[in-house]
Amino acid sequence: MIINVPDCDVIYLSYDEPNAEKNYADLLTKVPWAKRVHGVDGSDKAHKACAKISDTQRFITVDGDNIVKPEFINQSVTFVPGTDLTKKVISWAGYNNINGLMYGNGGIKCWDKNAVLDMKTHENADLNNVKAQVDFCWDLDYVQLNDCMSLVENNYTPQQAWRAGFREGVKMCLIEGDKPSIKDIKEIHWKNLKRLYVWCMVGADVNNGIWAIYGAREGFYKTLCTNWDYVNVRDFKYLNSYWQDKVNMTEKDVEHNICTLGQQLKDELEIPIDILPYNSGQSIFFKQMYTNSTRPKHSSLAETKKEHYDVIMISYGEQNSNINYNILKQKCPNAKRIHGVKGIANAHIAAAEICDTDMMWIVDGDAEIVDSFNFNYVVPDSDKNAVHVWRSRNPINDLEYGYGGVKLLPTQLTKNVDTNRVDVNTSISTNFKVMKELSCYTKFNTGPFEAWKSAFRECAKLASKVIDRQKEDETNARLKTWTTVGHDRLYGKYALAGAAAGMEFGLSRRNDLGLINNFDWLKEQFDEQN
């Protein structure tokens, strides 16, 4: 039993999100046939409106604060034969732009049309059905997938960020939709409690992030420490009215309220958050290091043959490596990182040492992964000793080939790579496979030295002809492009200068080529020539 996304109506569900029009326009570039429901009061009523316009038995909802990944439209979900799908809601994870959490909140959902028309949740819930008062997830059978298929961008305005935090602050501290006593706080599901703490601490690095922190702490406190009726969290009109008291708050006011709530939460609930939330730098660090919890595979899902290999970024001093790592983590939440290891071969060996799979994906620190690329290639047994290299696009001259591209390497062979060889990838194995798909943009032009160094190294290797299995005509054409194209691009003149110097070095000092992997030496050459 397979549910294919292309077989389902896709319905954009928006209410008053300030970024709704922008996100809808983006969705239409990926799903031109998407329908829309907008401005319906009440979550139950809004989802029924979606069901009524769906022409397919199962339909997909995309919330107004969601940016959908291009690959989503090709997804499929396979169930065990005989599974009753009528009450099942398939939920893909969404990556939260504020705090880096990745779970079902705000993610894309797939519903059964009849189940939605028959359900009674939120404003339509029976008074004795506590589970259905504030959410769907306790009244329907959710099949939560770990695959992340969207970016949840709910920090466009202070109000949007506060409301997102407030709603999660309320819902995350409930137990199956019901308010626990303070003494039972430890009975809250540990994943929900963990995520709630993150909401209360992380986000100062993004626009309006402190408003989300404020909202999460306020929702948390009002639910567990006051007599406030938490069912109000389902009512967007109520929340918008409640917001009016905060319209004129200054940033200093918000920071004061955050600390006050932090103190109250610690005093009354004895929870392990700090009074002060993480600052911008701490939030950035947290999101880089935090690993999101995964859910065990739902019992109704069939086993798939899809294999996954560790994804590891290797970075050294690239100015954009942190940004690129965050982009990578959105696509691969469990991605690892090796940073600051001197020597390219040594860095690859270090990556292999932390790898838990027989093959490993390697992503360079200056590589920005394109949306269409997925780390889902499965290596045939016959190619388990092969180095696979995908294409990358050069930002200076628009060349597309393996330079800077994503690699898939055999782990054990990488551990044993010859550290004296100039080019690591061609040294790992004699079996080398060129993959045609574009994997990333190699954005090495972040500064004068970075642009010069990258061009110098590549052109030295090309000109020296030391790389195994080079095609001379192809190599010469690339050299010509490196040394002549890109004057008008950012730091293009430095890349051209580096390319010319590297080509001369490769032709005249072939025996000294190992120096191109010494970044201190390269900096000395750059300083002398510029």
pLDDT tens for each residue of 181-202: 988 888 888 899 999 999 999 9
Q: Can you tell me the distance from the alpha carbon of 306 to that of 296, in angstroms, rounded to the nearest whole number?
A: 16
Q: CA of 476: how far to CAs of 427, 462, 472, 479, in Å?
A: 22, 8, 6, 5
Calculate what percentage of the chain has a pLDDT beyond 70. Answer: 98
β partners of residue 37: 13
**170 pLDDT more than 90:** yes
**70 pLDDT more than 90:** no
CA dihedral 152, 327, 21, 239 (to 10 degrees): 30
Q: Which band of pLDDT confidence, cut at 50, 70 and 90, is reported for residue 221? A: very high
Residue 379: the pLDDT is: 87
Residue 413: the pLDDT is: 95
β partners of residue 2: 78
β partners of residue 3: 77
Of 336, 499, 339, 465, the closest CA to residue 411 belongs to 336
DSSP at 134: S
pTM of the model: 0.63
The tokens for 188 are 């809250």
- In this structure, of 296-305, 310-319, 383-392, the range with the lowest mean pLDDT score is 296-305
3-state DSSP assignment of residue 501: helix
Residue 466: the pLDDT is: 72
Q: According to DSSP H, which parts of 173-295 are helical?
A: 190-201, 209-225, 236-243, 251-269, 280-289
β partners of residue 488: none
Calculate what percentage of the chain has a pLDDT beyond 90. Answer: 71
Q: Which band of pLDDT confidence, cut at 50, 70 and 90, is reported for residue 95? A: very high
Q: Which band of pLDDT confidence, cut at 50, 70 and 90, is reported for residue 138? A: low
**111 pLDDT more than 70:** yes
Q: Which band of pLDDT confidence, cut at 50, 70 and 90, is reported for residue 467? A: low
The tokens for 307 are 């294999």
Q: Can you tell me the distance from the alpha carbon of 204 to that of 100, in angstroms, rounded to the nearest whole number?
A: 12
Residue 47: the pLDDT is: 96
**What does the pLDDT average to over 421-444?**
90
The overall average pLDDT reported for the chain is: 92
Q: Can you tell me the distance from the alpha carbon of 145 to that of 142, in angstroms, rounded to the nearest whole number?
A: 9
Q: Can you tell me the distance from the alpha carbon of 101 to that of 109, in angstroms, rounded to the nearest whole number?
A: 17
pLDDT tens for each residue of 44-65: 999 999 999 999 999 999 999 9
pLDDT tens for each residue of 224-264: 999 999 999 999 999 999 999 999 999 999 999 999 999 99
Domain ranges across the chain: 2-289, 305-443, 445-530
Residue 238: the pLDDT is: 95
Q: Which fold has domain 305-443?
A: Spore Coat Polysaccharide Biosynthesis Protein SpsA; Chain A (3.90.550)
Asked if residue 438 lies in contact with residue 373, where contact means CB atoms within 8 angstroms, the answer is yes
Which amino acid belongs to residue 392? S
Contacts of 480 (CB under 8 A, 6+ apart): none
Of 443, 454, 446, the closest CA to residue 522 belongs to 454
CA angle, corner 316, sides to 313 and 322, nearest 5? 60
The tokens for 526 are 């750059």
